[in-house]
Structure 1
């Protein structure tokens, strides 16, 4: 392209981008942005256009490549239950600084049996767990934990690619239009299942008008001085199951990262946030089986197994294996921690707002409940500098 043509294109794009909302349609503004930055990710384009990803998807796709699906308290769970019939899929979960993509087949749950004799707290936990189960996805290749109350909008997308092949996906978003989870069809047999899901859950009103809500304001953390640190640390030491940790945080009214900062000094060690690179490189080199947990307020996705190819590309540090991709914007990582709870060791990374981006565990087994290779790998991670350590 000649220089003056590029300048004209950039100028027209800048003019469209600077117009007040309504002066140019969202489609026109998106087209101008895409012409200027053809490799810009759809989510990043939405941010530049100051709209949510769901709004951009609906405005540019409904009536063409996008079908709006029904809404309702039970609808997302039912769609995901039906999605078990898709067979091989790519499941994608993301947050602001990470993306986890896993290709495989989701497992199904056996028929739930009635459980009698539970106390009130355990029965409440069981009911909550059942509300967030979609008939499967627990363990196996596609391993997901849902919080369906935060799922709001659903779309079916059938997008022709450059090679002519059509990419089919189910895409879910929260009430603020942020991506909750996406499922991509990866088998010919899944196409008919996808089409049936679209037909059965098609919204009778194919409107791009979404009533997105402002993102909820994150509540301010309790001042450290208001926390009974001694009692908190004693309670931490009494944990005998790693799953009790969230209950401990709730009991003392502290955020997760705050809990790590205030935890027993022999249970939490701050590490260099860039240690995530060494962790993944060494896990690949030594073939140490890991578990990676990455999520948002709607979904947590888990990968378990060995990794092979790791590299930096596109502003991310990546795992690029055939059926597992992980993309981490580690430049946004501010803090990292090695955490010991109930005999389990994990590594967690946080952004500047105290949001957990990703956590890693060693894969346990009956023979190796505390994998020594994982313990050795974590022990070798570079520690945070002395000033950061002292800030604890």
Structure 2
């Protein structure tokens, strides 16, 4: 298409949108106008341009056509996900503002004997919290998820015909603000009947497109560094004997996640460049390292464990594009990165310009064994941030 033709099409789309007064045009009409301008625009990005949530746009444009609204309630999301274990092969998708993780596979079920184990007091509390946020499985294996169901609100079943005529079936969940919490796509013929039964059993009697979406919660202001007992905090860090204790430590000192790293022991935290994520993934692919990638939001954390293969930049993201694992990172929005050592475990975390954690990585290790030296060497070689020397001199 010639440049002046593209400009004319974009201008036409813009005029269509501006010509539709907010009070006169339905959301569906505004969305149709936007799609005329940008036919490949993802629903989430379209929602942002239209100043609505993704859940509102999905409901307004799909209910009565390709979307069925499912029931709501404190236990409904958990029960739907429990039933979804019967879907077999699925593609699980979790995202945040600057990253998306997609994994195709079969979720593991929780064995009855795993419900009760001999743990010390701290680990018992962690186990109880975990048990409140599970759905009978998804712990480890190909579809590895951690849920915070209290932050799940809206659920929809979507059956959308593709360009090839094949119908894509998915269960899509959103939080109170209409942001995507998690999505599951059916990937087997056997799963279709299970999907249909879930939809029939959990169909909302009110197929209304009107959602009572709440405003996004205001992120608490970070405490001034001067109010933190840094010496005491660093001593507590050095006393950690399990990496899973770290979140509780951060909560006890009332810090933000990035602040907790910025004020960590200088010999345990190394600041790296935001784009070091590219080197991490490229080297992991080149060296065939087994890694763990954690990416999520306030409702769901999704975890991938294994090797990565095809790594490349495309579509404004830096990506892993493997047959059954995709990772899409908008790393140009990254602001900082850190190599972190806690309780003998080395990890790498990347934050965006809003101080939100986008993605974190670990080297896969066998139970009760240290991480591979190749992982430690690779993370130690990641490019240091320009202010790393100032950090080391704290």
TM-score by length of 1: 0.95
Aligned to 2:151: 150
Aligned to 1:362: 363
Query: Aligned-residue CA RMSD in angstroms?
Result: 2.1
**Structure 2 counterparts to residues 367-386 of structure 1, below 5 A:** 368-386=369-387
Alignment partners' CA distance in 2, 1:365 and 1:208: 48
The answer to whether the 8 A contact 1:16-1:24 is kept is no
> 2:215 aligns to what SS in structure 1?
coil
Alignment partners' CA distance in 1, 2:122 and 2:184: 34
Alignment partners' CA distance in 1, 2:84 and 2:31: 31
Structure 2 residue 14 is the aligned partner of structure 1 residue 14: yes
Structure 2 residue 328 is the aligned partner of structure 1 residue 327: yes
Alignment partners' CA distance in 1, 2:300 and 2:389: 31
The answer to whether the 8 A contact 1:13-1:29 is kept is no
How far residue 389 of structure 1 moved from its aligned partner, in angstroms, is: 4.2
Alignment partners' CA distance in 1, 2:282 and 2:140: 25
The gaps in structure 1 that reach 5 residues or longer are none
Alignment partners' CA distance in 2, 1:263 and 1:379: 17
Aligned to 2:239: 238
Aligned to 2:219: 218
Aligned to 2:354: 353
> 2:349 aligns to what SS in structure 1?
strand
> 1:258 aligns to what SS in structure 2?
helix
How far residue 8 of structure 1 moved from its aligned partner, in angstroms, is: 6.3
How far residue 111 of structure 1 moved from its aligned partner, in angstroms, is: 1.2
Alignment partners' CA distance in 2, 1:28 and 1:236: 54
Aligned to 1:304: 305
Aligned to 2:181: 180
Alignment partners' CA distance in 2, 1:292 and 1:210: 33
How far residue 14 of structure 1 moved from its aligned partner, in angstroms, is: 1.8
Alignment partners' CA distance in 1, 2:385 and 2:5: 50
**How many equivalent residue pairs?**
392
**Structure 2 counterparts to residues 1-392 of structure 1, below 5 A:** 9-18=9-18, 19-111=20-112, 115=116, 124-366=125-367, 368-386=369-387, 389-390=390-391
The gaps in structure 2 that reach 5 residues or longer are none
CA distances 1:144-179 after superposition (whole Å, capped 9, x unpaired): 000000000000000000000000000000000000
Name which of structure 1's ranges 204-213 and 360-369 shifts more when overlaid on structure 2: 360-369
Alignment partners' CA distance in 2, 1:25 and 1:181: 27
How far residue 10 of structure 1 moved from its aligned partner, in angstroms, is: 3.7
Alignment partners' CA distance in 2, 1:311 and 1:289: 18
> 1:302 aligns to what SS in structure 2?
strand
Alignment partners' CA distance in 2, 1:6 and 1:259: 48
How far residue 24 of structure 1 moved from its aligned partner, in angstroms, is: 1.1
The answer to whether the 8 A contact 2:95-2:295 is kept is yes
> 1:327 aligns to what SS in structure 2?
strand
The answer to whether the 8 A contact 1:106-1:142 is kept is yes
Alignment partners' CA distance in 2, 1:118 and 1:293: 25
Alignment partners' CA distance in 2, 1:379 and 1:6: 47
CA distances 1:359-378 after superposition (whole Å, capped 9, x unpaired): 00000014852211100110
Alignment partners' CA distance in 1, 2:113 and 2:204: 31
How far residue 126 of structure 1 moved from its aligned partner, in angstroms, is: 3.3
CA distances 1:314-335 after superposition (whole Å, capped 9, x unpaired): 0000000000000000000000
How far residue 5 of structure 1 moved from its aligned partner, in angstroms, is: 7.6
> 1:81 aligns to what SS in structure 2?
helix
The structure-2 alpha-carbon separation of the partners of 1:241 and 1:14, relative to structure 1 and needing over 3 Å to count, comes to same
How far residue 16 of structure 1 moved from its aligned partner, in angstroms, is: 3.8
The answer to whether the 8 A contact 2:85-2:107 is kept is yes
Alignment partners' CA distance in 2, 1:241 and 1:283: 25
The answer to whether the 8 A contact 2:271-2:388 is kept is no
CA distances 1:223-262 after superposition (whole Å, capped 9, x unpaired): 0000000000000000000000011111111111001000
Alignment partners' CA distance in 2, 1:198 and 1:376: 49
Name which of structure 1's ranges 12-21 and 339-348 shifts more when overlaid on structure 2: 12-21
The structure-2 alpha-carbon separation of the partners of 1:367 and 1:255, relative to structure 1 and needing over 3 Å to count, comes to closer
CA distances 1:73-128 after superposition (whole Å, capped 9, x unpaired): 00000000000000000000000000000000000001156759978765554332
The answer to whether the 8 A contact 2:291-2:305 is kept is yes
> 1:334 aligns to what SS in structure 2?
strand
Name which of structure 1's ranges 301-310 and 369-378 shifts more when overlaid on structure 2: 369-378
